[in-house]
Amino acid sequence: MNLLLTVYDIPAWKTLGDVSGLPLITDAPLATKGEALLQPVQALSAVSALLLQLPAAQSLWLAVVQVEYFLANAIENGNALDDAAAQWQQETNALLKLQAQKRRKLKLFNLHQALAQPGAFRDSLSPVMTIGDYPPQPVGNSLALLAACQYVAQQPDLQALNTRLQASSLPLCDSEALVLNVERILQYNAAELSSIREERDLILAELHKVQEQLEQYYLAVQDEKQQEIAKSLASRSWKTTKPVRAFSRLIKKTGKAHRKMLRDAALLLTSKYFDPEWYVRVNPDVADSKLNPAEHYLLYGAAEGRQPGPLFDGNWYLQQYPDVAADGANPLLHFIMFGEKEGRPSSPKLLPTTPEMRRNKQ
């Protein structure tokens, strides 16, 4: 019994199995006599083992793959061309070395030529095996193949090895050169290209819609924040606290620094954790400095270890959360913007009281 097999994992091998009429088997029963059996993709070590077991009158017919087709398959699968080229070189060099040692038992034929030239393929195998009648199979209608050919044209090593492989294989057509009909390839792929362009246009349109929605949402959020700040500034506590009334006038910074200070101070003053009256009462020097208490805490108070109010312990917060301290963040600003949402306590007084509750917090 003669065997038909390959070491190249490529879809064209399955196509040959489907059209040839030969049964697909996993293990070759070498003692069986009769028609050749089509093997699945084999490792080169398995081919070497089969050659050692094969009786003198039998041969292995191994399908080889030109580098252009191998790389086209890699492109279609999204694999890197350089990696695929290196893999093909390694497999092909090892195969040619084995074929040189076992030339009488190991016969090579071009897989894609066997699909495109069924008559010549049957004649080459006759009378050792019978291949069913099948029409010529299309083997070169992809843009990936065009790209692969362009890549190979720039790689002299691949071209030289490809020539060696063709010279070691059974001739199934007059010319071994790969001939591509560019116009047919473009026509064959025109519908697919049109579909890709339509899909791209739809995606871009959806992205534009999402962008507009995000812009509208951002503007709405900003407007809502400004309204909340305005309400806070107009509140009774704001009106009755002299340092807070002088807030905008006393902040000396301009530009981005000014806007950031206004924003950060507004976050403090609208939070229950910053008590401006308490802060000034506990720190009389703040009133003497004529600085807004929120500005003083942002610029100096936190760094000096002063507490912003009775409900928040900034020193403990920084000791408890080294990540906040490492970032140099203002402890109360971090708590307002992130810590409270993350479930971090604001002071040791508010820590969970049982081991189970502490574990849940962690």
Q: What is the pLDDT of residues 123-137, one digit of tens each?
A: 887 777 778 888 888
**pLDDT average, residue stretch 83-107:** 91
**pLDDT average, residue stretch 199-209:** 63
- Of 43-57, 69-83, 205-219, the poorest mean pLDDT is in 205-219
Highest mean pLDDT: which range of 115-124, 213-222, 329-338: 329-338
- Of 31-40, 275-284, 331-340, the poorest mean pLDDT is in 31-40
SS3 assignment, position 170: strand
**Is the separation of the CB atoms in 283 and 290 below 8 Å?**
no
Mean pLDDT estimate for the chain = 77
Confidence of residue 211 (pLDDT cuts 50, 70, 90): low
**pLDDT average, residue stretch 150-157:** 90
Could you give the C-alpha distances from 102 to 77, 88, 305, 312, in angstroms and in order? 33, 21, 85, 84
**pLDDT average, residue stretch 136-144:** 74
Residue 245 reports pLDDT greater than 60: no
The fraction of the chain above a pLDDT of 90, given in percent, is 20
Asked if the peptide bond before residue 355 counts as cis, ω within 30 degrees of 0, the response is: no
- The structure tokens listed for 356 are 């189970």
Could you give the C-alpha distances from 154 to 76, 89, 148, 149, 157, in angstroms and in order? 20, 15, 10, 9, 9
Report H helices in 44-181.
44-53, 67-76, 81-101, 111-116, 118-125, 143-153, 156-167
The answer, as to whether pTM is greater than 0.85, is no
Residue of 38 and 33 predicted with greater confidence: 38
With a CB cutoff of 8 Å and minimum separation 6, the contacts of 106 are 47, 51, 59, 60, 62, 98, 99
Residue 220 reports pLDDT greater than 70: no
Residue recorded with tokens 């069913």? 132
Q: What is the 3-state secondary structure (H, E, C) of 201-248?
A: HHHHHHHHHHHHHHHHHHHHHHHHHHHHHHHHHCCHHHHHCHHHHCHH
Nearest to 316 by CA among 350, 362, 352: 350
d(CA 214, CA 122): 65
Residue of 31 and 162 predicted with greater confidence: 162
Neighbours of 105 (CB within 10 A): 16
**pLDDT average, residue stretch 149-170:** 89
Confidence of residue 92 (pLDDT cuts 50, 70, 90): very high
Secondary element (H or E) of residue 196: helix 182-233
Confidence of residue 86 (pLDDT cuts 50, 70, 90): very high
The model's pLDDT over 37-62, given as tens digits with 9 standing for 90+, comes to: 777 888 888 888 888 887 777 778 89
With a CB cutoff of 8 Å and minimum separation 6, the contacts of 153 are 159
**pLDDT average, residue stretch 273-288:** 89
Residue of 353 and 46 predicted with greater confidence: 46
Exposed e or buried b per residue across 171-207, where buried means at least 16 C-beta atoms within 10 angstroms of its C-beta: ebeeebebeeeeeebeeebeeeeeeeeeeeeeeeeee
Residue 72 reports pLDDT greater than 80: yes
